Structure 1
Amino acid sequence: MNATRQTHWDEEVDLLVFGAGAGGMTAALVAHHEGIKVLVCEKTDAVGGITSTSGGTTWVPGTSLSTSAGVPDSVDDARRFLASVVGDRGGDEAREAFLQSGPAAIDELQRISDVKFVAATAHPDYVTGPGAAFGGRALAPVAFDGRLLGAEFVRVRPPRKEFMGLGGMMVARTDLDALLAPFASTKNFSRTLAVVGRYVMDRLRYPRGTQLVMGNALAARLFYSLRKQNVEVRFETPLIELVIEQGEVTGAVVEQKGAGKKRIRARRGVVLATGGITRHPVLRKQLFPAGAGPLSLSPNTHTGDGVDSALKINAQLNDGHDSPGLWMPCSILRSRDGQDSVWPHIILDRAKPGLIAVNSRGERFVNESDSYHDFVMGMLRDSESGGGKGDSVPAHLIVDAAFIRDYGLGLLMRERSRSRIASFEKAGYLIKGNTLAELAAKLGIDAAGLERTVDTYNRDAAQGQDPAFHRGASVVNRFNGDAAQKPNPCVRPIGPGPYYAVTVWPADLACSAGLEGNANGQVLDNNGHAIPGLYACGNDLASIFRGTYPGPGTTLGPAIVFGWRVAKYAARAVPGASGARQLDPVAPKPRVTV
């Protein structure tokens, strides 16, 4: 809406935020702390978006938390690291702003709210390069007691059902081993009783367990902080269109449940944090590779509302450079009722010794122990090199029976029970072959190719080597492998049959493509100029890593830091000023009030 006359407003605020994920809620918290009136409009009936279903790891270099954890990290090292990973792909100014602001953003967020992190002492960057870190950069949200939210606990979007046990129990990674082997030791049994007992008591009052971890804990902590500080979150209120007057975004039209359309003036600007374009019906087809398909880990409601509204007023779209999406390989357990289970293969199986991934030719195509994003990029590249025939989409993870016993495979955790293994076979999730040829026939792939591949792999694996793809050569490979496997934690021969396989497909977990923005999160137009009054963060803002995936949490880190920068900039900008506002949101300046 490009208004040519005085707009009638139904209400007015200083900062209008669309989307209650990590980026949007951070922007709202910080802006409120700066003394301006904030309204958060959320399209759905719950906060969290992609954040709530994620692992919650937040990648921010150089924080004081890294020092507190005994693994001090350096912004200078991170700068060298990103220069080697991202190279000349662009976005240097925004990336530098992220590096400079990250430590201050995390410190202040922890100081002014109930958001709490702890730096992981061991959680390495995903790519090898100068300045790469083994620990300190990956920040994990501290577990949260959902009971503190009372009746509003239902407003926190649940995690993926595949990540909950017993129909609604979240399990911390540190508790996983105990719950998988409760009778292995007194300690395991005691911990299992504590976790399950708490969950049983929760279900007497709540629809799911209230012990929240990972991304669900982060989303809940942000929401709890907003509630404590009386920042309004208006649910089921999607963005309809932006209002632009004399070249400046001055507000937006929303559709509020039960109240119809409203025009809300935003004196300091509008922040777009609506989750990105992962499910936008046009932009997904336009930008995403054909081999990727429709599978997405983002909520169904992430249809690109924020990006779409900005494009209608001449905003610039960045295609994500190397990749429009950030990826995870996922297997699917089909259900008769249509409620399929989608399992992201993150760290529990792919990096472990004795697993290979093959394409339709029965050949390996990637280092199976690399990060989930790089694994899928290997899938997509292999398919493109084959003329777009989809040779590696889908791909198949091949193991022997001993592997399932030792590590599990996908939805099937470490398992010795023959009946449970058989149940996954019957469901069509786990494919079994007594011989490689039989397995290949069931998968519909080249049998001779698979047999050659396993023979070659086994010959090298017997020496702990992988000359084809160098598994175990990088720090992250070894970290996610099995330290007990010598000499290479990621390599061991595949034993005799029976053999098993699960099929994996590319699924996006977030966007790299999005609105082009500057160092302050201002959205740029197609001439490269900032659109006054319009900001973006989270997945609505193009990734500062340009389609690369440097380390764990490299979507949430920038979402939070740019939410912080947007809030600082908008709070200190003079209301009504047009054009680029030359203010540094990091340096302290007098607060301007309305």
Structure 2
Amino acid sequence: MKRDEPTHLGWDGSWDAECDVVVVGSGAGGMSAALTAAHAGLRVTVIEKTAYFGGSTAVSGGAVWIPENTLMAGVGHTDSRASVMRYLDATIGPRMRPELMRAYLDNGPRMVEFMHAHTSAVRFTSRALSPDYQSDLDGASMGGRTLDPAEFDARVLGARFDEVRRPYPQFMALGGMMVNRKDIDRLLAAFTTVEGFAHSTKLVWRYLRDRTRFSRGTRLLLGNALAARLFKSAIDAGITLMSRTSAHQLIHADDRIVGIVVVRDGKHTAIRARHAVVLASGGFAASPAWRARHVPHAEQHSSLSPEGNTGDGMTLALDVGAQLARGNASNAFWSPVSRMKLDDGSARVFPHLVTDRQKPGVIAVNAKGRRFTNESASYHAFVNAMHDTQTLPAYLICDSACLRQYGLGLVRPAVQGFGWATSYRRYLRSGYLIRGNTIADLAKQLGIDAHALEQTVSKANLSARTGRDAEFGRGTQAYSQYLGDPAHGPNPCLGPISTGPFYAVVLYPGDIGSALGLQTNANAQVLDDAGEPITGLYACGNDMNSVMAGNYPAAGITLGPALTFGYIVGREIAAHAKAPAAQGIETQ
């Protein structure tokens, strides 16, 4: 019997459907748990609140941080547990929970091997150059620890391709073509180099062919490639995938979680989960109410999380006696953002992650016209500096030469070889891009002290000539240099601000996902107020509290733990279910 009545009045003891495991959420953590459990012979159902599969993973950069992985040797790197722990001790400190960190580091490489050996589509490649974010600290790595999902040809999904969540439009070219950093460099050089022309022609021709059959380009990169690879693997594994299905109530009976009530098309359905329910619904970052309670300066804050990430899994767990973790360095993973008001009244939010702040000729200032931090620091560290110095908002400033070469936020760089000026009219008209003929004029437009801004720019120009930033040491770390312009000297992150007109965009604090989550043990079992496991209930992804305790040591420290603890969850459920141990899964 399908149920229409509200279930908060009590579950009546009957079931509408059953399986071995119900997974709430279809991002990296949930899909990893589902694939691992399914490989062990368990029947798995994944419910997804929205119309699209992939969650935050699908709109992310796709980086996966797995120290000591077996792929790093192929790009010339080695690693050791001792060096990893020295780095993590330095970046996380006493907030680290050693038992969770050991579980993550022990199982991360096993997860990668499992995905390659036992899923139809999940594949990773290792980055030869990807410095950890605090690359000057002992134990930091210059590359190899961060993996990327391999490029994916989504044509194999056929009609189901449209079920994968799309990337944000600001990260696609021509309205639907995904590009990475190398693609962008070659597209910008399409009319000045043979390589650029050849690569750009190939990309655009492929995209135009795709659009005759599909709603967007099928060459998937970054997190969208990972989400699609997980989705394809789940289809091939026979996992039941239910979209537009929200989790409504966990069912607790006989001292354990025995099932879940879901809502689909307005109907309440009770699904028996014979062995476990896994919460992987993406955390709380898209919920204004949760942000108001747990995020500083929530009134100015913007999140890049998908609309479905509203704390549903955490709320369900709290209703059955779970607890939130305490003592994080931050409750979300920060990124500075800019916001452009569109003609329809909505806003487009752009996260300033790696494309502009680090480039020579760009500086960030506060309302007094002074720099307040190292612009080339990680996005998380940059927003921490905004919080610490009460720089709300900040202003990102450059000159016309810099804007043309590197772009600024939503304003793209100009294609090389064009003789005419790039039009910034729509960005100026919307108020997103602010222009001044002189530095003093720009200061006036921004409402900040003109004399102070002129002094700041003068200091920045001196630093550009000498290659030394006396205030914040910009461009001295390998991570900063990696994201600067290697062709620019003497410092790849320091450049002049001298060619008018001058431009600015306004920066606000934002996030790319929540870090605060449910307290779990090393097996990702959700803990109650007494610190005891709630039998039959697990959490991973952003529903589980950050194993980094709200710190951000390197690229991929959200997806790496999500996939790894998802793998741990699937393995643990299989072990407790006494299912036949499948090859490649340790059940002891």
TM-score class, shorter = over 0.9
- 1:93-121 CA-to-partner distances (Å, cap 9, x unmatched) read 11111011110011111111110000000
Contact kept? 1:274, 1:539, Cα under 8 Å: yes
- 1:253-306 CA-to-partner distances (Å, cap 9, x unmatched) read 111226x11111112110000010112343211111025634110111211110
Show structure 1 runs of 5+ residues with no match: 384-391, 577-582
588 and 516 in structure 1: CA distance in 2 versus 1, 3 angstrom threshold: same
Aligned partners of 1:46, 1:136: CA distance in 2, in Å?
A: 32
2:240 pairs with 1:232: yes
For the residue of structure 2 that corresponds to 1:39, the secondary structure is: strand
- 1:524-550 CA-to-partner distances (Å, cap 9, x unmatched) read 112211111110000101101111101
Aligned partners of 2:489, 2:280: CA distance in 1, in Å?
A: 47
For the residue of structure 2 that corresponds to 1:282, the secondary structure is: helix
2:71 pairs with 1:44: no
User: In the alignment, which of 496, 503, 507 is matched to residue 504 of structure 1?
Assistant: 507
Q: 1:275 matched to which residue of 2?
A: 282
Contact kept? 1:320, 1:543, Cα under 8 Å: no
Deviation (angstroms), 1:419: 4.4
Deviation (angstroms), 1:189: 1.2
Aligned partners of 1:364, 1:322: CA distance in 2, in Å?
A: 24
Tell me the C-alpha RMSD between the 2 structures: 2.2
Aligned partners of 1:569, 1:327: CA distance in 2, in Å?
A: 32
Q: 1:193 matched to which residue of 2?
A: 201
Residue type of the alignment partner of 1:300: E
- 1:418-472 CA-to-partner distances (Å, cap 9, x unmatched) read 3413443233222111121210111122222212222233333331111211101
Aligned partners of 1:4, 1:413: CA distance in 2, in Å?
A: 55
Contact kept? 2:57, 2:226, Cα under 8 Å: yes
Aligned partners of 1:170, 1:492: CA distance in 2, in Å?
A: 29
User: In the alignment, which of 510, 518, 525 is matched to residue 515 of structure 1?
Assistant: 518
Q: 1:222 matched to which residue of 2?
A: 230
Q: 2:263 matched to which residue of 1?
A: 255
Contact kept? 1:267, 1:575, Cα under 8 Å: no
Q: 1:436 matched to which residue of 2?
A: 439
Aligned partners of 2:204, 2:326: CA distance in 1, in Å?
A: 45
For the residue of structure 1 that corresponds to 2:277, the secondary structure is: strand
Q: 1:108 matched to which residue of 2?
A: 114
Aligned partners of 1:292, 1:75: CA distance in 2, in Å?
A: 42
Q: 2:489 matched to which residue of 1?
A: 486
For the residue of structure 2 that corresponds to 1:13, the secondary structure is: strand
- 1:40-62 CA-to-partner distances (Å, cap 9, x unmatched) read 11111210111101111111111
Aligned partners of 2:318, 2:445: CA distance in 1, in Å?
A: 47
Contact kept? 1:521, 1:536, Cα under 8 Å: yes
User: In the alignment, which of 132, 143, 154 is matched to residue 146 of structure 1?
Assistant: 154
- 1:542-568 CA-to-partner distances (Å, cap 9, x unmatched) read 101111101011110000000000110
What aligned pairs does 1:26-65 form with structure 2 within 5 A after superposition? 26-65=32-71
Q: 1:13 matched to which residue of 2?
A: 19
Deviation (angstroms), 1:573: 0.8
Q: 2:469 matched to which residue of 1?
A: 466
For the residue of structure 2 that corresponds to 1:570, the secondary structure is: helix
2:389 pairs with 1:382: yes
2:126 pairs with 1:119: yes
Q: 1:315 matched to which residue of 2?
A: 322
Deviation (angstroms), 1:484: 2.4
2:413 pairs with 1:414: yes
For the residue of structure 2 that corresponds to 1:36, the secondary structure is: coil
- 1:337-368 CA-to-partner distances (Å, cap 9, x unmatched) read 13432222121211112211001111111100
176 and 460 in structure 1: CA distance in 2 versus 1, 3 angstrom threshold: closer
Deviation (angstroms), 1:3: 11
Q: 1:588 matched to which residue of 2?
A: 586
Aligned partners of 2:499, 2:195: CA distance in 1, in Å?
A: 35
Deviation (angstroms), 1:314: 1.6
Aligned partners of 1:19, 1:374: CA distance in 2, in Å?
A: 29
Contact kept? 2:114, 2:584, Cα under 8 Å: no
Q: 1:81 matched to which residue of 2?
A: 87
For the residue of structure 2 that corresponds to 1:140, the secondary structure is: strand
- 1:199-226 CA-to-partner distances (Å, cap 9, x unmatched) read 1111111111111111110000000011
Aligned partners of 1:100, 1:55: CA distance in 2, in Å?
A: 24
Residue type of the alignment partner of 1:393: L
Q: Is the deviation greater in 40-49 or in 336-345?
A: 336-345
Q: 2:550 matched to which residue of 1?
A: 547
Contact kept? 2:129, 2:143, Cα under 8 Å: yes
Aligned partners of 1:104, 1:20: CA distance in 2, in Å?
A: 21
314 and 537 in structure 1: CA distance in 2 versus 1, 3 angstrom threshold: same
Residue type of the alignment partner of 2:25: G
For the residue of structure 1 that corresponds to 2:466, the secondary structure is: coil
User: In the alignment, which of 556, 560, 565 is matched to residue 562 of structure 1?
Assistant: 565
Aligned partners of 2:353, 2:294: CA distance in 1, in Å?
A: 25
Q: 1:450 matched to which residue of 2?
A: 453
2:145 pairs with 1:132: no
Deviation (angstroms), 1:411: 1.8
Contact kept? 1:4, 1:245, Cα under 8 Å: no
TM-score (norm 2): 0.94
Residue type of the alignment partner of 2:131: P
Query: Percent of pairs identical after alignment?
Result: 44
- 1:489-508 CA-to-partner distances (Å, cap 9, x unmatched) read 21233224321111111221
Deviation (angstroms), 1:406: 2.5
Q: 2:373 matched to which residue of 1?
A: 366
For the residue of structure 1 that corresponds to 2:130, the secondary structure is: coil
Q: 1:157 matched to which residue of 2?
A: 165
Residue type of the alignment partner of 1:323: S
What aligned pairs does 1:531-546 form with structure 2 within 5 A after superposition? 531-546=534-549
Q: Is the deviation greater in 84-93 or in 172-181?
A: 172-181
Q: 1:335 matched to which residue of 2?
A: 342
Q: 1:301 matched to which residue of 2?
A: 308
Residue type of the alignment partner of 1:160: Y
Deviation (angstroms), 1:243: 0.6
Residue type of the alignment partner of 1:192: S
TM-score (norm 1): 0.93
Contact kept? 1:292, 1:380, Cα under 8 Å: no
Aligned partners of 1:52, 1:289: CA distance in 2, in Å?
A: 26
What is the total number of aligned residue pairs between the two structures?
574
Q: Is the deviation greater in 459-468 or in 228-237?
A: 459-468
353 and 245 in structure 1: CA distance in 2 versus 1, 3 angstrom threshold: same
